[in-house]
A and B are shown apart, each in its own frame.
Chain A
């Protein structure tokens, strides 16, 4: 099932989705104290930053192999938070980079985080270092850096591939407290094995919202949940229709995907 262009049903769904987002944005601005359940891994981010403040050792934030996209954008939210904490406690914040374009975005984000807490003078561009755009050269540079700098806390937020275990184990070896977050389930398994706290899948996107509690961030989570709920019921209905088609094949009911393929 490939979509080069969307049909009218798909278009309606897209606009419905945009409407839901802006509706919650408007609603949340009027009532910012909306409920979000406790997410243990995200609570730990603040605690880990506070721990780093006590030790005075550097903190590392790794965005992995993230390219410009939603995963990076979500990670920047957490990076901003960590940068502010690091600035408050005067910890060095090491941010090794994989892609030059992402490096430019991260520099801007971190600089503004420091300036927002009036610690602009602590921002050091040299701590945002480009390592390599080759996966294992990046991993090699990262593990060397972590060992030499003896980071006390490492955050692994972004897109990771096979090198995820190498990065996480390096932090383990120096005794760093580690928080890992990625959307790929294969790499989450390795983070669970090697990190102290792991955020699974979309918890990475929820992290920034959870930490800042700003109306826009809460809107994101609410929209996510509503769309997910919609898909949840779609799957149930789809399965029921598929079951009916098995038991009563003569009925030959169209399943829900039919609506995405019809041309009006």
Chain B
């Protein structure tokens, strides 16, 4: 099963709502947000993509659909890698923890750093930043040298002191 035939089958299954392309040696599938979860489920159950490698959230403040998720899936038997891309107007999407357990950590990380909420995730907490951190550092509006949060921590007297 190559990427072309997979794409053809998926297009037949989902009424041609999805499309795909190959760029710089990687295979991408665009799926609309309302059927994306079904596409992901079908890829695992019907096409053997049992290994969820990674989830990437991207912030596009200048586009209409301001957020984008990219699911990196691998079929271990057929050695095929595809990326399922989902464009989102709001930073909110359904969880895939019920399909792949690795999504637990991966979704928590994207929630923490980019601020995409995954509905139905069993334990959606911050993972890399401290629990009392405010904001999402990988959003484009968050400046590289933004110290406002560190300064406000001093005022809140949380017992942690940061030097400026």
B is bound to A: no
Which residues of A pack against B, CB within 8 Å? none
Which residues of B pack against A, CB within 8 Å? none
